[in-house]
Amino acid sequence: MAEHPKERKPLHLVKLHVHKGDTVLILAGKDRGKTGKVLRAMPRENRVIVEGLNIAKKHMRAGRGVLQSGIIEKAMPIHASNVMVQCTECGKPTRIAHERVPMGVDQKVRTRRVCKQCGKPIQEHTRD
- Mean pLDDT per 10-residue section of the chain, whose length is 128 residues: 64 84 92 93 91 91 81 92 91 90 85 88 72
Q: Which segments of the chain belong to CATH 2.30.30.30?
A: 1-86
pTM: 0.78
Which CATH architecture fits 1-86? Answer: Roll (2.30)
Exposed, middle or buried: residue 18 (CB in 10 Å: 0-12, 13-18, 19+)? buried
